[in-house]
Amino acid sequence: MEASRSKRNGATEAKVSEIVARYGHDKSFVIPIMQDIQREFNYLPREALDALSASLGVPQSLVYHLATFYRAFSLTPKGKYRLSLCLGTACHVRGAPQIADHITRTLGIESGETTSDGEWSFETVNCLGACALGPILVVNEEYHGQITIAKTNKVLAALGKKVETDEEV
């Protein structure tokens, strides 16, 4: 078990070193580096943050402060498919709460959770900055505007999720 963990940590450290090298080991790029690390692992693993701290020569407290301050970062694993639904005013009045309820029922998880199989993560956010297209659903950085339950079902089905198709909003 210890050898397996050591091998995994070595691979994580190597990947972090590769990412940091792309930024010339420049401390001023710590946030973009963290974004790249999260993109690589779907979250910020402890081993990666420790490797980042050592590689840039910055205190671990700074790295963890940034990781916990910015909501875009996650210290827990996210699913293969990451869904973010806007519940801001423009999206709210156009039916986003009903879509959120539908996603919760369909995936069997609440906002902020990941399915036990690691396939799906769902979160609601206050604004995605695309009010004219609301309600907005973002799946792995791809925006789906004027989303309805029917369109949500199509998006989920295209990603391999079995969905009920008789609900409509």
Residue 138 near residue 144, CB atoms below 8 Å: yes
Helix axes 149-158, 96-107, angle to 10 degrees: 40
What's the pLDDT at 125?
Answer: 94
DSSP-derived letter for residue 142 is E
Burial of 2 (0-12, 13-18, 19+ CB in 10 A): exposed
> Chain centroid to CA 95: how far?
23
What's the pLDDT at 101?
Answer: 98
Strands (E), 53-94: 81-86
What is the pTM for the complete model shown?
0.77
What's the pLDDT at 166?
Answer: 56
What's the pLDDT at 81?
Answer: 96
Strand 113-114 relative to strand 120-125, pairing: antiparallel
Nearby residues of 150 by Cβ (< 8 Å), 6 or more positions away: 165, 167, 168, 169
Query: 3-state class of 48 per DSSP?
Result: helix
Residue 76 near residue 116, CB atoms below 8 Å: no
From CA 121, how far away is CA 158, in angstroms rounded?
Answer: 16
What's the pLDDT at 1?
Answer: 47
Average pLDDT per run of 10 along the chain, which is 169 residues long?
56 96 97 96 96 97 96 91 96 98 97 95 93 95 96 96 66
Residue 161 near residue 120, CB atoms below 8 Å: yes
